Amino acid sequence: MLELFFAFVTIYFSVLFLLVYMEDADKMEDPKPTRYPSVDIIVPAYNEEKHISETINSLLALQYPGKIRIIVVNDGSTDATLNVARTFEPRGVLVIDKPNGGKASAINEGLKFADSELVAILDADSIVEPDALNFIVGYFEDEKVMAVTPMMKVWKAHTPVQILQRAEYILNSFTKKILEQFDSITVTPGPFSVYRRKVFDELGGFDEDTITEDQEIALRIQKANYKIASSYGAVVYTDAPRTLSQLFKQRKRWYKGFLENVWKYRQLLHHSYGDLGVFMLPSTIAVIVIGILALFYSIYRILSSPLTFKINLSTMFFGPSDVVLTMTTLVSFFLVSLAAKKLNESNMVLLFISTLIMSPLLTLFWLFIIIDTLKDKLLGVDLKWKGEG
Amino acid sequence: MEGRGLKARMYFFAFVASLLLFTVGLVLGWQWGYSAVTQMRSEFDALSADEAGVELVSLLGNESFACQIYESEFMRVFQKTVEYGEKLAELESKKGKMDSEVLELKKDYSSMQLRNYLLQQKMDARCGYRHNVIIYFYSNENYTPETDEGLQIGKVDKEFGVYTYHFDINVDSPIVRGLKAAYNIKTTPTLIINGEKYEGFLTADELRAILSRNK
């Protein structure tokens, strides 16, 4: 009967997101700006000699009517990142060199030079579409909006692991827009999140002690009761991990950072924070736990059912659980296809299959990472960021 | 601190809509299950009629005619019974071991298995055949794939042309009780292979060694 509970949870969230998507359909479009404020774009870079030229070139190609300044902060790279960045100085790019101190310290260094109304952060392994900023700046006409996240896509997905992540990124961007309607975005990712400059004056710069500074700043903005919006139109491509071990390493940092920051901002789990405190943040935690339970349960069912590996079409019989699980899959598929349509992705089947593979894989990662975090806590180990995305 | 909004109405509507979808799924599933049980009953009746037919026809004519009928028709009925057993196991895994309809179907299936076994024994004796026969007593309680004797039998049955008759010792029927008493069944799995009793799990290789002796 447990599978029925897992199915109900999946149906509930899919239906909730679909209802919000339908009710707030008009809010799903990016607002047209009436003005184009000045923007400083900070590019923190650590050992990115292979990517940084493409990154800076994409910024120089931005077709933005307002004033833009590009600030590259070399965070003590041991490769040729600094030399490559300096070749762009004649084209107006400001290059700052500092000793290695982590991504947050590099961004904070860049913030010292930023005096524009808006500040964008762009990881040095990401590139932006020429019109990306134009889709974002309209959101800042709402004075409560302090940050806007872009539509992230995987840059040139070659390996199977990258193809799987492509689907994940699309779904994440789609759901992030829906989470915006709940005022519940809890991360402003490194690839081209844009901030109102004054939020740093008011709340301080990026936290240099956390391993996921983009989650920390987002939760800090939420705690201050400001808004974070999400854009479908502002497309940014990022270099995703190529192998399973690289993916695990990245997720280890993300998930550990999530656990660390949720604990740090546990006071957000309060009714005064509306949907975020009452429903979305508790649900995120609950869904992780339920996902792990569902994974264990599936393994138990596979090992304990006499007929699991006997697939014989002539004896196929569908019981109530099968019908409910089929309906759950169909509802999820509908949500995925909606995301694909909205975000102009043509291969819906590949997207759906990728999602089916990624969900248990990431749940398994969560399990390992929770165990690993507990182990590190007991041994007092610290995870330091060096430069991975 | 300024309070923030709560989409309580949306959570409620989503809950109602999900409950509705969920209920429709369950009702459809139950309806489907009901149809499956009805279909299984019809199939059982048809199989019983086939089996009775083979037995009756084998009474006609001389020995050679009876053995001819046995060879051509009994195998067909036996194969259908095996397929029926697989369907029943699938139904049991979906509806549960304690489902009253499943238990009734399993009682009927046990009686069919016994009738098949008796007919086969009678005809083997009349026609002078020495088929390999396994009577397999099992229990679905505390199941693990490592101790599923059925999987091991499946690895050797075609190789040795084995006729296997399955009996779930937990089925509450006079036939199963009678067989348990006749063979003094105390544990599962227990196999009666060509008349000899083997208690406990046997691997496919062990089964091969035992069945080879009948060659």
Residue B214's pLDDT band (cuts 50, 70, 90):
low
Find chain A residues with C-beta within 8 A of B13's C-beta: 19
- Cα A321 from Cα A2, distance rounded (Å): 10
- Domain of A33, CATH number, reads 3.90.550.10
Residue A381's pLDDT band (cuts 50, 70, 90):
low
In Å, how far is A300's CA from the nearest CA of chain B?
10
Query: What pLDDT is stored for residue A80 in this prediction?
Result: 95
On whether residue A337 sits in a domain, the answer given is yes
Selected residues 3-62 of chain B with any CB under 8 Å from a CB in chain A: 3-7, 10-11, 13-15, 17-18, 21-22, 24-26, 28-30, 32-33, 36
Q: Which segment, A299-308, A345-354, B104-113, is predicted with the most confidence on average?
A: B104-113
- Comparing CB atoms, the residue among B14, B24, B33 nearest residue A16 is B14
Q: Lowest mean pLDDT of A57-66, A359-368, B65-74, name the range.
A: B65-74
Partner-chain contact B14 A8, CB within 8 Å? no
**Are A50 and A86 part of one and the same domain?**
yes
- Comparing CB atoms, the residue among B4, B32, B91 nearest residue A323 is B32
Question: Is the pLDDT at B62 greater than 80, yes or no?
Answer: no
On whether residue A274 sits in a domain, the answer given is yes
Residue of B nearest to A22 (CA): B10
SS3 content of chain A, % helix, strand, coil (to 5): 55, 15, 30
Q: How many residues are present in chain A? A: 389
Interface test with A, best of B90, B92, B101 (most A CBs within 10 A): B90
The whole-chain average pLDDT of chain B stands at 86
Provide the percentage of residues in chain B whose pLDDT is more than 90.
33
Find chain B residues with C-beta within 8 A of A310's C-beta: 86
**Are A275 and A185 part of one and the same domain?**
no
On whether residue A260 sits in a domain, the answer given is no
- Comparing CB atoms, the residue among B7, B11, B29 nearest residue A318 is B29
Partner-chain contact A272 B3, CB within 8 Å? yes
pTM, rounded to two decimals:
0.73
**Are A69 and A125 part of one and the same domain?**
yes
Q: Give CA separation, A80 vs A76, A190, B29, in Å.
A: 10, 22, 63
Q: What is the pLDDT of residues A274-329, one digit of tens each?
A: 999 999 999 988 888 888 888 888 777 777 654 443 444 444 556 677 777 788 88
3-state secondary structure of A68: strand
| Residue-range definition of the domain harbouring residue A106 | 29-245
**Are A164 and A298 part of one and the same domain?**
no
Work out the angle at residue B135's Cα, subtended by the Cα atoms of residues B131 and B140, and round it to the nearest 5 degrees. 145
Q: What's the structural domain count of chain A?
A: 2
Ramachandran region of residue A76, left (φ > 0), alpha (ψ -120 to 50) or beta? left
**Are A165 and A212 part of one and the same domain?**
yes
A277: which DSSP letter?
A: I
**Are A217 and A302 part of one and the same domain?**
no
Partner-chain contact B144 A314, CB within 8 Å? no
Question: Is the pLDDT at A179 greater than 90, yes or no?
Answer: yes
Question: Is the pLDDT at A170 greater than 50, yes or no?
Answer: yes
On whether residue A262 sits in a domain, the answer given is no
Q: Give CA separation, B115 vs A89, B106, B108, in Å.
A: 93, 14, 11
- Cα A250 from Cα A383, distance rounded (Å): 12
Partner-chain contact B18 A183, CB within 8 Å? no
Contact A140, A107 (CB under 8 A): no
In Å, how far is A317's CA from the nearest CA of chain B?
7
Q: Lowest mean pLDDT of A44-58, A264-278, A302-316, name the range.
A: A302-316
Query: What pLDDT is stored for residue A310 in this prediction?
Result: 44
- Comparing CB atoms, the residue among A12, A23, A306 nearest residue B143 is A306
Interface test with B, best of A3, A317, A331 (most B CBs within 10 A): A317
**Which residues of A sit within 8 Å Cβ distance of B?**
4, 7-8, 11-12, 15-16, 19-20, 23, 181-183, 225, 271-279, 303-307, 310, 312, 314-324, 326-327, 331
ipTM, interface predicted TM-score of the complex:
0.78
- At A202, give phi and psi (nearest 5°): -80, -45
Partner-chain contact B148 A15, CB within 8 Å? no
On whether residue A68 sits in a domain, the answer given is yes
Selected residues 114-143 of chain B with any CB under 8 Å from a CB in chain A: 140, 143
Query: What pLDDT is stored for residue B25 in this prediction?
Result: 85
Interface test with A, best of B2, B6, B19 (most A CBs within 10 A): B6
Higher-confidence residue: A350 or A313? A350
**Are A306 and A180 part of one and the same domain?**
no
**Are A180 and A293 part of one and the same domain?**
no
**Are A121 and A165 part of one and the same domain?**
yes
Query: What pLDDT is stored for residue B1 in this prediction?
Result: 43
The whole-chain average pLDDT of chain A stands at 88
**Are A176 and A291 part of one and the same domain?**
no
- Comparing CB atoms, the residue among A182, A272, A315 nearest residue B90 is A315
Q: What is the pLDDT of residues A318-341, one digit of tens each?
A: 667 777 778 888 888 888 888 888
Work out the angle at residue B11's Cα, subtended by the Cα atoms of residues B6 and B14, and round it to the nearest 5 degrees. 155
SS (H, E, C) chain B: CCCCCCCHHHHHHHHHHHHHHHHHHHHHHHHHHHHHHHHHHHHHHHHHHHHHHHHHHCCCCCHHHHHHHHHHHHHHHHHHHHHHHHHHHHHHHHHCCCCHHHHHHHHHHHHHHHHHHHHHHHHHHHHCCCCEEEEEEECCCCCCHHHCHHHHHHHHHHHHCEEEEEEECCCCCHHHHHHHHHHCCCCCCEEEECCEEEECCCCHHHHHHHHHCCC
Residue A16's pLDDT band (cuts 50, 70, 90):
very high
Query: What pLDDT is stored for residue A314 in this prediction?
Result: 44
In Å, how far is B141's CA from the nearest CA of chain A?
11
Both tokens of B137, joined, read 């007593």
Q: Give CA separation, A209 vs A13, A261, A327, A374, in Å.
A: 34, 11, 45, 19
Partner-chain contact A315 B21, CB within 8 Å? no
On whether residue A118 sits in a domain, the answer given is yes
Residue A49's pLDDT band (cuts 50, 70, 90):
very high
Query: What pLDDT is stored for residue B117 in this prediction?
Result: 92
Provide the percentage of residues in chain A whose pLDDT is more than 70.
93
Q: Which segment, A107-111, A164-168, A281-285, B96-100, is predicted with the most confidence on average?
A: A107-111
Partner-chain contact B145 A303, CB within 8 Å? yes
In Å, how far is B35's CA from the nearest CA of chain A?
10
Beta strands in A78-142, from DSSP E residues, in sequence order: 94-98, 118-121, 126-128
On whether residue A176 sits in a domain, the answer given is yes
Query: What pLDDT is stored for residue B63 in this prediction?
Result: 79
**Are A116 and A84 part of one and the same domain?**
yes
Q: What is the pLDDT of residues A73-123, one digit of tens each?
A: 999 999 999 999 999 999 999 999 999 999 999 999 999 999 999 999 999
Find chain A residues with C-beta within 8 A of B154's C-beta: none
On whether residue A282 sits in a domain, the answer given is yes
**Are A162 and A105 part of one and the same domain?**
yes
User: For residue A366, what is the enclosing H or E element?
Assistant: helix A348-379
